[in-house]
Amino acid sequence: MSVEKSRRSFLRDAAFALGGVAVGAGLGYVAAGGGRAPVTQTVTKTTTQAAERKVVAGFVYVGPVSDYGWTHAHDAGRAYAKKVCPWLETKIVESVEEAKVQGAIETLIGQGANIIFTTSFGFMEGTAEAAQKHPDLYFAHCSGYKSGAAGNAPQNLSAYFAEFYQLYYLNGLAAGAVTETGVLGYVGAIPIPEVIRHINAFVLGAKESAKARGKNIKVYVQWLNAWFDPEGANKAATSLVENNNADVLAFTEDTPTVLQVAESYQKKGKRVWSFSHYSDMSKEGPNAHLTGQIVNWGPIYVDFVTQVYARSWRSVDIWARVGDYMAYKWANLQNPKVEYDGAVYLAPLNPVIPENVRALIALRWQQMKEMLFEPFTGPIKDMDGNVRLKDGERATHDILWNMDWHVEGVQTPLPK
């Protein structure tokens, strides 16, 4: 009985035990499985989130992307940023009137943009107001002076610009080396410090290389009073060549016209040279193209959108010059071959520029990269003979930024 009882109790106990094991194992399995499932889910969720996290950059352009300079270059920068950053989506609004910038910004925000670039000086106030209104979004304005960094706008607004005067100095070196008449022409858009700085740097460069040839340099300036005026640029360039006997034409305006005029003289057998502006225009003047200044907004745009992506935004006021946004900034003495890159760089050099001047251009480029050389270093006199920079004095940012005088060598007084 006891045996039977004990057997029965054993069987019962065994059954319970088995059942317990089974249930336990089952529970354990479920618990384990249930535990694993949420973990897997979390991991998947995190990775998908990273893949789906996008930055949408909106661009407000003052002109059409098919213009011949300013907007075209900005759009090339946008395309570059899109290529480099797979998580970047871009939206553009073209040909926006300056008074309508806020409407364009709101449109882009409606399309999901979390960073907005506005690329005209006249967009500055509207962009600053939009930055105030949308503190959770980011803004960057090109060619103005308002930013959180400068302290005159909210912290979600940055400013950026690319500066060419150093490249105009290099252009000047090329011009001084090839001119036969010793007369250079300059077609300027609007007499503002930026353009005046360009002209002066160009003249200083030309004087440096012409001095080695024992030549004096005279520079005549024609003003268009417009950024886009192909007809005026044609007339100004032709007048400089015909009336002033200029054989190198530099310019700051938004059409390829001046280079085209130089090329048509080359076709007629008259040696007249010109440059690229903003983008490589060497195709426009296969014979007349000496070199020129080129901007690559791409690295600047990559910088800004990466800040938004990495949530590391900090308001900045960028004035990109030679040496900025370069992978390799220091002169490579082992490999002296110069590669002109960065946010601003030099167009291909025409073989007509003598070898020693090409080397000089490369040297000055390296020196400017490392801030060992500044074109505006005294003694510099203005065209009326007043000393503007004392011997050895370097121009400060403010002197460059507010320049309203011409250096010696310019023949045309500034318009009043």
Nearer to other proteins, 292 or 375 (CB): 292
Cα–Cα dist 314/230, whole Å: 40
Q: Is the Cβ of residue 180 or residue 242 nearer to other proteins in the bound state?
A: 242
| Residue 287 interacting with other proteins (CB under 8 A) | no
Q: Does 236 bind other proteins (CB under 8 A)?
A: yes
One DSSP character per residue, 267-332 reads HTT---EEEEEEB--GGG-TTTEEEEEEE--HHHHHHHHHHHHTT-----EEEE-TTTT-S--S--
Among 180, 242, 339, 384, binds other proteins (CB under 8 A): 242
Smallest distance from other proteins to CB 267, Å? 7
Pick the piece of the chain touching other proteins (CB under 8 A) from 15-23, 27-35, 231-239, 328-336.
Answer: 231-239
Find the binding residues for other proteins in span 248-277 (CB under 8 A): 255-257, 260, 264, 267-268
DSSP state string for 362-402: HHHHHHHHTTS--SSBSSEEBTTS-EEE-TTPBPPHHHHHT
- Subset of residues 374 to 413 that bind other proteins, contact rule: CB under 8 A: 412-413
Rounded to a whole number of angstroms, the minimum distance from the CB of residue 347 to other proteins is 13
Which strands form 218-223's sheet, in the order they lie side by side?
218-223, 183-188, 248-252, 273-278, 289-295, 344-346
Q: Which of 231, 339, 384, 404 touches other proteins by CB under 8 A?
A: 231
Rounded to the nearest whole angstrom, what is the least distance from the CB of residue 66 to other proteins in the complex?
3
Contact call for residue 72 and other proteins (CB under 8 A) = yes
Nearest CB to other proteins, comparing residues 117 and 223: 223
Residue 296 near other proteins by CB under 8 A = no
Q: Is 100 in the site for other proteins (CB under 8 A)?
A: no
- Contact positions with other proteins (CB under 8 A) in 161-220: 220
414 CB-contact burial (10 Å; exposed 0-12 / middle 13-18 / buried 19+):
middle
| Segment contacting other proteins by CB under 8 A, of 27-35, 67-75, 120-128, 365-373 | 67-75
The kind and range of the H/E element at 90 are strand 88-93
**Binding segment (CB under 8 A) for other proteins, from list 84-92, 140-148, 278-286, 333-341:** 278-286
**Minimum distance between the CB of residue 120 and other proteins, rounded to whole angstroms?**
16
Which is nearer to other proteins, 76 or 399 (by Cβ)? 76
Could you say whether residue 336 binds other proteins (CB under 8 A)? no
Q: How many residues belong to the chain?
A: 416
- Which one of 100, 215, 235, 394 is in contact with other proteins (CB under 8 A)? 235
Which residues within the stretch 339-368 sit at the binding site for other proteins (CB under 8 A)? none
Q: Does 148 bind other proteins (CB under 8 A)?
A: no
Helix 230-244 × helix 257-267 angle, to 10°? 50
Residues 6 or more apart in contact with residue 67 via CB below 8 angstroms? 228, 254
List the one residue out of 204, 198, 114 whose CA is nearest residue 156. 114
CB-nearer residue toward other proteins: 200 or 276: 276
User: Could you tell me the smallest distance in angstroms from the CB atom of residue 126 to other proteins?
Assistant: 23
Who's near 78: CB < 8 A, 6+ residues apart?
A: 57, 59, 90, 92, 117, 297, 301
- Residues 6 or more apart from 138 whose CB is under 8 A from it? 114, 115, 116, 156, 158, 304, 307, 308, 313
244 near other proteins, judged by CB under 8 A: yes
Among 228, 309, 313, 401, binds other proteins (CB under 8 A): 228
We find the least distance from the C-beta atom of residue 144 to other proteins, in angstroms, to be: 23
For 26, the 3-state DSSP assignment is helix
Integer Cα distance of 65 and 117 in angstroms: 15
Residue 60 CB, shortest distance to other proteins, in Å, is 17
Q: Give the sign of the dihedral formed by CA 325, CA 158, CA 80, CA 68.
A: negative
Structure tokens belonging to residue 23: 């249930």
83 is a contact residue toward other proteins (CB under 8 A): no
Coil, strand, or helix at residue 125?
A: helix
Distance CA 371, CA 165 (A): 14
Q: Taking Cα atoms as reference points, which of 245, 130, 121 lies closest to residue 190?
A: 121
Residue ranges binding other proteins (CB under 8 A): 63-68, 72, 220-226, 228-232, 234-236, 238-240, 242-244, 255-257, 260, 264, 267-268, 279, 281, 283-284, 412-413, 415-416
